[in-house]
C-alpha cells in the first residue's frame, strides 16, 4: 500500500503540474486535489508504514527511538488523517455547488477562498491535536516509551474521537453532497430530455 500509494500520489502531483492544469483560477478544485495528494502521501508514511514495521520488524515509529519522535509521529498521524477527511468534504461540497447553480462563482468556488479553506482546515486540526505534542508520550520507570498521557487517558477515547472526525462526519457529508449532486444531475438530464422533446415537437 505504501509503495502503490506513493507512486500514484506522485503521479497525481506530476500530472497536476502540467500546463493544462496550472490555471487554478479556472479550476480552483485543483488546490484541494494537490493538497490531498500531499497529505495522503505524508499519511502513507505514518499509519501504514507503522503497521508494516510492527508486523515485519516488531517496532513502530511512534513507540521507538525517543519521546520526541513518538510525540511527532503521533501528532502527524492524527493531523494528516483529519485534514484528509475534511478536504474530501470540501471537494464534494465544491462539486455540489458547481452542479446546483447556474452561476457557480460563489465565495467557495474562488481560488483564494479554496486556499483559505485548506489553510484554515490545516491550522484548525493542528491546534486540535496540539495536546499530543505537549502531553502524550513519556518514559515509564523501566525506560520504555509509553504512547499515552500521565494527565488523562488517551486511549480508547481518542480512537473514538478520531473515528468520528475522520470517518463518521466526513462520510455523512460526502454521502449527503454526492447524493444532492446526483439529484441535480438527474434533474438536469430530465430537463434536457423535456426541452429536446419540445423542440422536436415544434419542428
The pLDDT tens digits along the chain (203 residues) read 667 777 777 777 777 666 666 655 656 778 888 888 888 888 877 767 777 777 776 666 655 678 888 888 889 889 999 999 999 999 999 888 887 765 667 777 788 888 999 999 999 999 999 999 988 888 887 877 777 888 888 888 888 998 999 999 999 999 999 999 888 888 877 777 766 666 665 55
Instruction: Indicate the number of domains in the chain.
Output: 1
CATH number at residue 91: 1.20.1070.10
Q: In DSSP terms, which residues pair with 135 in a beta bridge?
A: none
Q: Are 26 and 64 in contact (CB under 8 A)?
A: no
pTM of the model: 0.81
3-class DSSP assignment, residue 57? coil
3-class DSSP assignment, residue 58? coil
Note the maximum CA span of the chain.
89
Calculate the CA 31 to chain-centre distance: 12
Task: Tell me which residue range forms the domain holding 123.
Answer: 2-202
Q: How far is CA 176 from CA 80, 82, 161, 179, in A?
A: 23, 19, 21, 5
Amino acid at each position: 500500500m505504501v509503495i502503490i500509494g506513493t507512486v500514484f500520489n506522485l503521479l497525481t502531483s506530476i500530472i497536476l503540474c502540467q500546463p493544462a492544469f496550472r490555471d487554478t483560477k479556472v479550476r480552483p478544485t485543483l488546490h484541494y486535489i494537490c493538497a490531498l495528494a500531499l497529505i495522503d502521501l505524508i499519511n502513507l508514511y505514518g499509519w501504514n508504514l507503522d503497521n508494516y514495521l510492527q508486523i515485519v520488524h516488531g517496532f513502530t515509529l511512534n513507540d521507538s527511538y525517543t519521546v520526541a519522535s513518538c510525540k511527532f509521529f503521533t501528532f502527524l498521524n492524527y493531523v494528516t488523517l483529519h485534514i484528509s477527511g475534511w478536504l474530501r468534504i470540501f471537494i464534494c461540497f465544491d462539486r455540489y455547488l458547481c452542479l446546483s447553480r447556474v452561476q457557480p462563482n460563489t465565495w467557495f468556488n474562488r481560488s483564494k477562498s479554496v486556499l483559505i479553506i485548506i489553510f484554515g482546515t490545516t491550522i484548525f486540526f493542528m491546534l486540535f491535536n496540539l495536546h499530543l505534542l505537549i502531553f502524550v508520550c513519556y518514559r515509564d520507570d523501566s525506560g520504555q516509551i509509553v504512547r499515552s498521557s500521565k494527565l488523562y487517558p488517551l486511549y480508547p477515547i481518542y480512537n473514538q474521537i478520531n473515528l468520528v472526525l475522520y470517518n463518521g462526519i466526513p462520510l455523512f457529508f460526502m454521502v449527503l453532497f454526492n447524493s444532492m449532486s446526483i439529484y441535480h444531475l438527474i434533474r438536469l438530464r430530465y430537463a434536457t430530455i423535456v426541452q429536446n422533446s419540445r423542440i422536436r415537437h415544434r419542428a
